[in-house]
Structure 1
């Protein structure tokens, strides 16, 4: 893999965190059958992975800021650059012993993600991109799907759990979309959903109620593979809004119209 020094640091760090989490994942599979269950263990694994990532990135770039899911935000001496990290995207999958989870690391410059890495250790798939340099999975160049008919397309989403204010709107989205497409998948890892759009595995993805660390790396990877990505409000900022509509260039307008109920 060839990329900038920053990207190489991100990839190296993601692999190191992946090795640690794979060991923890093997323990989770054993804990599934215990009376206590794996919940507390997974929480510790998540926190430990973020600590590893934070230390590696801050050592490499001590002036950059850092925003992660588990710890407090660090404001760096350089106010224009910030790492945005989800150390374990798909925690519930991890908790239940399902091998569909990832490490997500993005670099933000002046409020925009400019480099992203999403690493799926269970499948050894490293999705990565830098702004203006294209997107890749391991050594292969990524390109979004070429489908242009809604009836042929498979989309992905995430459904909220518990008493979420986003549940009614999400269910209404599904009710409008399902009759118009070939299917909707809900695999429980937003970062991988974005990466799969980039790889052409999904034709599009949408979700409400997300955080910056769920989306930042996926935005740059999907866009560099040819996808369009916008907030639910087309004029909004995805990372601030916490919602996203992402799809290949040929289906985006049709897809966004359905989701926005326009």
Structure 2
């Protein structure tokens, strides 16, 4: 493990992951950094005490995406033959969306500055996105003569719809936080000096909910995006049957009837 990701955990089960390459604007460029990202997601996935995850960047950027100098010098996942480049993507950066997007606990991107290229894709892998008033966004791959190969074509179209996603990907235009909110890319804008605190406060509100039901609800929503109504209802019925037989449900009902705050236990 390296120190690319700083992991902090509070008493509410909220984990904050901070990308810690401010001098490189938190670019995703080294294989060991990508592996660290994937390993962190897998570790958090297996930890039943984790209730929510906040992802942010150190310094003035959320993430500048790929390392353009590596592209110029044909280093890292730009190195080698076309077959080698393809395999480098498959084994490297493409493992991040598979790990982060499918993390069962809710995730919040606290976008503290520019989220460019793969950095924008990284934000879209999270369930909720809030941004500072200085944030910038761009699906800028076209400006470098490459395609969005780390999940952007799939992710951005599901967040914004295909026409708007295609507009951003074909122009490479940068948009500010207010426009990002208007088109639904982010849900709120907050001052930069309060961004992390507000993201963590939201995560704590989520973490107060029944932990098993949190995971089931996120999974149901994700699976329902690709299912027919009938299939979604069938899955919901199955998940509901599981939920009705959890200690979380019993405690939630008891707390409601007794007019007190619930006390959920890690499973």
* TM-score normalised by L of structure 2: 0.27
* TM-score normalised by L of structure 1: 0.27
Q: Which structure has the larger Rg?
A: 2
Q: Comparing both structures, which one devotes a greater share of its residues to strand? A: 1
Q: Comparing both structures, which one devotes a greater share of its residues to helix? A: 2
